[in-house]
Amino acid sequence: MTIINAETQERGSSPADAIDQGMETGPADGARLFSRLRLSANTLIAVGAFVLAVIVMLMYKTLSQPEGGDPAIYDYIAQCIVKGLMPYRDVIDPKGPGQMYLSAAAMAVGGLFGINDVISVRLLNVILMGILSAVTFKTAYAYLRDRHAASIAFLFLLFAGQFPLMMNTGGQPKLPMMIFGLIALEMIALNKPVWSGFFGMLSCLCWQPGLMFVGTAVLIFSRYLTSWRDMKAIKVVAGAAAPLAVTFAYFQFKGALTDMWSWTIRFTSSVFAREGAKPLPEAFNHFWNIVSFVFHYDLALLAMAGIGIAVYAFRRIRSRGETGFISSPERYRDALLFPPLVYLIFCLINFQNKPDLIPFFPFIGIFSGYFIAGLGRALIPKLPSSGKWDRKRFQTVYALLTVALLAAVALTRAARYKLEGVTLADQRQEAAVISGYLGPGDTMYVHVAADLLVLTHRQNLNPYISFGQGADLFISAGRPGGFSDVIDEMEARKPKLVALSRLAGVRHHQELEQWVQQHYDKLEGLKHTKIYIRKPE
């Protein structure tokens, strides 16, 4: 495993060094052979990252984890898509449609082989986690030119900060968002503006903050908005426009484009952002409390990442003093800094809970690897060399030991993990009991607890799977009688069962609770504590 010294990292050649010359690099024959061998080694490590991630995810009992929370909502939406329904019109969630359709595709393919829809999505998540690990390695290497640092980057994902546990249930839009986003960064390093825009927009279509990858590509290829003559920034925009146009055309064809625009753009910008906003001190305190809880024993790795990004930024700034801010041939390396910094600002404006930390993890891994590899380069030259133990051998041993140690930590933590409490099998048994209360013509309304819909294969009474985060205000604004009209519509259909969860963030929660108290009795004997059955009439 080769360790490249800091000076080589800062000034070494890469495919992206031709970004200003507009041409590919052309090594001599001997160098070309070495380059192919190096590419083969990188490919082998990327494949190893994929396989190791799959093994670790399965060790975390992915296929037995209970269904619940936001992932259950995304699984329910995917079920609706398979049935021919449309997101935003027939079932509402304000995130982009990318993850929803990936999960729906997994369900459709799994169904061909007799695999349950929930398990199909879990297997998709395992594969996506493997892809994320491989892509993290490739992106880290594209910017750091150091296999040691890049290997640490992907290993970090397999154990640090509860990250595998965040990934091992149902659909998670932030997972494909980061896969496409990291590929976009790699395309920037490879001097491919069209593809950087294309993958950046795919990231955005999974979750809207993914637009930061498109913005990063525009900044780099336009020389910070100062040069457009080479058309590279325009190519970024063209690449981004392609998947966006296809998505808009599809939703227009299905008659749901207006609904998509209303919930992904109008609602998120006018209501969701306002409802989630907090004063800066309170926002920072909330953010840090979640970070401390999630990382806990791994705060040292977080500190390493903080030092790593500071050193990386300092070297980028210092190099600009030597080559000029705009004209630097290694300007592409700045792209690694923008997404985590932009996303940090986003989190201080609107941060909900620990899943919102997911986009940070690949960057924390990359900059932790940068720090750990750099620490070895700084300290090893100070060691005395004698006989066979020269500095190069010390560096190789250091790299192998740190990588092996982190891999061992990842596998050990996964092996020690025990699934406690309710399992997916337990939930299936309870879902069968709940289904027994419902006849062929009966309906049910579920607020947030979408696992009931997923496991009973029932469609919700209406599109409103959640009234939280200002959704009830947004819906009420378009109705003459406000939220009372929504309650009246629900009562007119007299659902047999009602399940209510997470009402704390619903402004009109009292109306919902009063409606339930008036017309429903609590269903006893179930682990779900808030399921109600219609009173006899």
Domain match, 428 and 405 both: no
Query: pLDDT tens across 49-87, in order?
Result: 999 999 999 999 999 999 998 999 999 999 999 999 999
Identity at 187, one-letter amino acid code: M
Mean pLDDT over residues 261-275, rounded? 90
Domain match, 55 and 20 both: yes
Instruction: Characterise 328 by phi-psi region: left (phi > 0), alpha (psi -120 to 50), beta (else).
Output: beta
Residue 29 has pLDDT above 70, yes or no: no
User: What does pLDDT average to over the chain?
Assistant: 88
Say which range, 36-50, 131-145, 161-175, has the weakest mean pLDDT: 36-50
Which is nearest to 434 in space by CA: 509, 516, 515, 495? 495
CA quadruple 468, 470, 471, 476: dihedral sign:
positive
Last residue of a domain, one of 347, 382, 416: 416
Say which range, 73-82, 106-115, 318-327, 520-529, has the weakest mean pLDDT: 318-327
Q: How confident is the model at residue 196, as a pLDDT?
A: 98
Domain match, 287 and 360 both: yes
* Residue 134 belongs to some domain of the structure: yes
* Residue 404 belongs to some domain of the structure: yes
What does the DSSP 8-state code read for residue 265?
I
Last residue of a domain, one of 359, 386, 416: 416
Please give the Cα distance from 459 to 79 (Å, whole number).
9
Residue 17 CB partners (closer than 8 Å, separation 6+): 25, 329, 330
Q: Report percent pLDDT > 70 for the chain.
A: 89
Mean pLDDT over residues 200-227, rounded? 95
Q: How confident is the model at residue 4, as a pLDDT?
A: 36
Domain match, 216 and 146 both: yes
Report how many domains make up the chain.
2
Domain match, 325 and 470 both: no
Domain match, 429 and 410 both: no
Please give the Cα distance from 316 to 180 (Å, whole number).
25
pLDDT category, 272, cuts 50, 70, 90?
confident
* Residue 1 belongs to some domain of the structure: no
Which of 527 and 47 is assigned the larger pLDDT?
Answer: 47
Model-level pTM greater than 0.85? yes
Boundaries of domain holding 89: 6-416
pLDDT category, 33, cuts 50, 70, 90?
low
* Residue 354 belongs to some domain of the structure: yes
Please give the Cα distance from 275 to 79 (Å, whole number).
29
Domain match, 391 and 364 both: yes
CA-based R_g, the chain, Å: 25
Domain match, 344 and 487 both: no
Please give the Cα distance from 170 to 84 (Å, whole number).
20
* Residue 238 belongs to some domain of the structure: yes
Helices (H), 60-189: 69-82, 98-112, 117-144, 147-157, 163-167, 174-189
pLDDT category, 8, cuts 50, 70, 90?
very low
Contact 469, 411 (CB under 8 A): no
Mean pLDDT over residues 482-493, rounded? 95
* Residue 285 belongs to some domain of the structure: yes
Last residue of a domain, one of 416, 441, 471: 416
Q: How confident is the model at residue 298, as a pLDDT?
A: 87
Contact 122, 62 (CB under 8 A): yes
Say which range, 42-51, 181-190, 312-321, 510-519, has the weakest mean pLDDT: 312-321
Please give the Cα distance from 405 to 396 (Å, whole number).
14
Query: pLDDT tens across 442-467, in order?
Result: 999 999 999 999 999 999 999 999 99
* Residue 275 belongs to some domain of the structure: yes
Residue 75 CB partners (closer than 8 Å, separation 6+): 67, 103, 117, 118, 121, 170, 171, 450, 454
Contact 65, 424 (CB under 8 A): yes
Say which range, 100-114, 125-139, 308-322, has the weakest mean pLDDT: 308-322
Residue 387 has pLDDT above 80, yes or no: no
Domain match, 181 and 283 both: yes
Q: How confident is the model at residue 16, as a pLDDT?
A: 40
Domain match, 335 and 446 both: no
* Residue 167 belongs to some domain of the structure: yes
Residue 98 CA from chain centroid, whole number: 11
Burial class (CB within 10 angstroms; exposed 0-12, middle 13-18, buried 19+) of 297:
exposed
Domain match, 240 and 177 both: yes
Residue 60 CB partners (closer than 8 Å, separation 6+): 164, 165, 168, 414, 417
Q: How confident is the model at residue 385, as a pLDDT?
A: 63
Contact 252, 77 (CB under 8 A): no
Residue 425 has pLDDT above 90, yes or no: yes
Contact 461, 92 (CB under 8 A): no
Through-space distance between the first and last CA atoms of the chain, rounded to whole angstroms: 75
Q: How confident is the model at residue 7, as a pLDDT?
A: 35
Q: How confident is the model at residue 312, as a pLDDT?
A: 95
Domain match, 85 and 167 both: yes
Q: How confident is the model at residue 77, as a pLDDT?
A: 97
Q: How confident is the model at residue 38, as a pLDDT?
A: 58
